[in-house]
């Protein structure tokens, strides 16, 4: 079954595969769209429409560049994404000195324990600079985080009654 669609002629071969599949690459933003280029199986990315390329011999040494992408902020500069600066103050991570379960947080450096290992892996992925700080007791550790003396804590920290504030919903 062959027909003309919104994007032009659509043809299928005897195995029901699309003949010359091609896609228009659009940059959609604001109230409109801009054509960046085209993509097809045979030509890859191109600024020349595939139907034109199919009519003439394909040259692999074309130097035509794709049109620029307009990023949010109306700029052509590629955004960095969500990246933490590596020149800022390092995160202060509180680590309990005495632990009840060594597999969560080990006092020694090798192996570090599950909680420290997870925190270390995530911080490395985010390229965050951190500094481990030892703290003697769990209750004091949670208090130090609440007081902004630590940015985070690792360990098997539990919510207990002396670490919470009572809360009741006011009724009118």
Write the CATH number for 113.
Answer: 3.40.190.10
Number of domains within the chain: 2
In a domain, residue 108? The reply is yes
Domain that includes residue 26, residue range? 1-79
Q: Which pLDDT score is estimated for 23? A: 78
Q: What is the pLDDT of residues 15-38, one digit of tens each?
A: 887 777 777 888 877 677 888 888
- Dihedral sign computed on CA atoms, order 144, 146, 149, 151: positive
Same domain (yes/no): 102, 45:
no
Beta bridge partners of 35: 26
pLDDT band, residue 3 (cuts 50/70/90): confident
Kindly state whether residue 170 falls inside one of the protein's structural domains: no
Question: Global pTM?
Answer: 0.38
Query: Do 6 and 75 belong to one domain?
Result: yes
d(CA 49, CA 43): 10
What mean pLDDT is predicted for residues 122-142? Answer: 64
Show the tokens assigned to 99: 């632990």
Task: Specify the higher pLDDT residue, 171 or 41.
Answer: 41
Integer-rounded Cα Rg, in Å, for the chain is 29
The domain boundary residue, chosen from 79, 100, 124:
79
Residues 120 and 145 in one domain: yes
Residue 62 lies in a domain: yes
User: How confident is the model at residue 167, as a pLDDT?
Assistant: 56
Residue 4 resides in a domain: yes
- Residue finishing a domain among 79, 109, 134: 79
pLDDT digits (tens, 9 = 90+) for 49-67: 877 777 766 555 555 677 8
Last residue of a domain, one of 79, 100, 127: 79
What integer pLDDT is reported at residue 95 of this predicted model? 73
Q: What is the pLDDT of residues 73-131, one digit of tens each?
A: 677 877 666 555 555 567 777 777 665 555 556 555 555 555 555 656 666 655 555 66
Residues 6+ apart with CB under 8 A from 1: 12
Residue 69 sits in the same domain as residue 15? yes
pLDDT tens digits, 144-166:
887 888 877 776 666 666 656 65
Strands (E), 106-169: 130-135, 152-153
Residue 135 covered by a domain: yes
């Amino acid at each position: 079954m062959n027909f003309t669609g919104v994007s032009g002629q659509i043809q299928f071969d005897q195995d029901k595969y699309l003949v010359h599949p091609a896609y228009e690459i659009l940059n959609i933003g604001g109230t409109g769209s801009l054509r960046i280029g085209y993509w097809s199986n045979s030509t890859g990315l191109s600024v020349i429409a595939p139907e034109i390329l199919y009519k003439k011999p394909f040259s692999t040494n074309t130097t035509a560049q794709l049109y620029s992408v307009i990023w949010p902020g109306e700029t052509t500069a590629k955004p960095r994404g969500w990246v933490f600066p590596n020149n800022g103050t390092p995160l202060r991570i509180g680590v309990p000195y005495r632990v009840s379960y060594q597999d969560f947080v080990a006092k020694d450096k090798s192996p570090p324990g599950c909680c420290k290992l997870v925190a270390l892996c995530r911080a490395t992925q985010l390229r965050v600079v951190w500094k481990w700080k030892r703290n003697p007791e769990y209750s004091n550790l949670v208090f130090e985080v609440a007081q902004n003396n630590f940015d985070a804590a690792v360990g098997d920290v539990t919510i207990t009654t002396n670490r919470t504030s009572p809360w009741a919903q006011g009724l009118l």
